[in-house]
Structure 1
Amino acid sequence: MATGIRAELRVDADGSCPVASAAADAGAPTSSVTRGIDPEATGRVTEEFMLEDTAVEAPPGGDVEPVFTYGSKTTYRFSRPRGQGCPCERVEAFDCPVVDVHTRDGMLHLVFHAADMSELRGVITTLREAYPEVDVRRLLRSHGDPSDHDLVFVDRGRLTARQREVLERAHEMGYFDHPKGANAGEVADALDISRSTFSEHLSAAQSKLLDAVLEQ
């Protein structure tokens, strides 16, 4: 019985991924990212990706070259050494092949299958040690999993920046712990806001998260 997890992570590649860099420079998302070992150059990888809508002739930087154009879409190719520790290689170090790669808003989105939650946590921890921002966008568990716990996708984009800040600070200070590590007034003071403002933001954030969970 399959018990794996399909995960989509959003990673700020921080200039380490030519695909994400090209997309950011062109101001356009990418799709159809493919990779293969260069048969004529040991230890190198050739990658291709498609820019869906670009106003520039080619993404600047490195050896990225256009190889095919179809309407407003252009496929680009580049070659790089293997073992540079890019996001895809860090994921695949856990024997989790990356099955889909694309970019949106300058961020790299990776889709892969982990054997279990322990393996998934290992991948996420490794990426967070290397990159400034790693968000879990979607988790799907195989049907028939005997676990009593369901995985639910919660889009943190539902929260405003202030709601997320309030929620994170409350969690960090132990507001949700039993017994509480901090009360509402202490968290509000740490955020330099009034207690009523803290309660308002926290209530709105919790309502949005509960809506997302119950919708599933």
Structure 2
Amino acid sequence: MSGIRAEITVDSPPDCPAATAAAAADGTAKSITKSVPTDPDEAVTEEFVLTGDRPIDATGTKGGDGTSGDAAPSVDELQEVFSYGSERVYRFERPQGRTCFCECIEGFGCPVRDVHSRGGSLTVSFHAPDVDTLRSVVARLDQRWSGVSVRRLVRSDADRDGSDLVLVDRGELTERQREVLETAHEMGYFEHPKRANAGDVAAELGVDDSTFVEHLSAAQGKLLSSILP
């Protein structure tokens, strides 16, 4: 088998209400589920469980036409439907045409197996059938969202004793790409939860966010080519 388990993180996606709520509450959003009606004109209903140190102002307010429109629902458009101890369940609706981070991955035939958010960063786990599919998924995510990083990769045919080793030629990376990776690593960009976001690392490097993401994506692509031939 050549399947790959991937864990990908996106830094504070503005179009994910669960991640936005986790950031507002300085907590964690988990058990993110959705219900998709058969009628394409009807809204998708999503729920998530939130735990956090700060309360959020979730009133369930809708727009003037009774919907949330094409934009992602804001925190004040979330509806609290259940609470137990420190956990609260929130619900929101969105149009079926507004593709989210998870649906973008599922569009490649890779069902999402786990998704959660801590402090605003969204982490998604899924299985890709092969390296080409994984590369296509990462490339598409990089096109639509900034701050996308591959946190973990596991091959299904790896030896149980951990001897599935590969040689990575760092010479494949440009000096600038190595600097970007080293700075991001030192600042805790790849940690969970993150100690620095894309803007923080970009500022340290003296570049704008888009330039940082461009260099990071190029470096990650080269590393993937070496690790997953």
TM range (shorter): 0.5 to 0.7
**Structure with larger Rg:** 1
Residue 154 (structure 2) aligns with: 140
Aligned residues: 158
Residues 1:165 and 1:57: Cα distance change in structure 2 (over 3 Å): closer
Q: In terms of mean alpha carbon deviation, does 122-131 or 80-89 score higher?
A: 80-89
Distance 1:40 1:73 in 2: 32
Task: Give the SS at the match of 2:140.
Answer: helix
Distance 1:79 1:28 in 2: 22
Cα displacement (A) at 1:86: 1.5
Percent identity between matched residues is 41
Distance 2:128 2:181 in 1: 31
Misfit runs of 4+, over 3 Å: 38-43, 57-60, 148-151, 163-168
Residue 113 (structure 1) aligns with: 127
Task: Give the SS at the match of 2:9.
Answer: strand
Question: Map of 1:46-195 to 2, 5 A cutoff?
Answer: 46-59=45-58, 61-143=75-157, 165=180, 167=182
Residues 1:134 and 1:24: Cα distance change in structure 2 (over 3 Å): same
Q: TM-score, normalised by structure 2?
A: 0.60
Residues 1:166 and 1:43: Cα distance change in structure 2 (over 3 Å): closer
Distance 1:49 1:58 in 2: 16
Cα displacement (A) at 1:3: 2.2
Residue 21 (structure 1) aligns with: 20
Structure 1 residue runs without a partner (length 5+): 152-162, 169-190, 193-212
Q: TM-score, normalised by structure 1?
A: 0.63
Cα displacement (A) at 1:144: 6.3
Residue 173 (structure 1) aligns with: none
Structure 2 residue runs without a partner (length 5+): 59-73, 167-177, 184-204, 207-226
* Alpha carbons 1:5, 1:142 under 8 Å: kept: yes
Residue 197 (structure 1) aligns with: none
* Alpha carbons 2:116, 2:124 under 8 Å: kept: yes
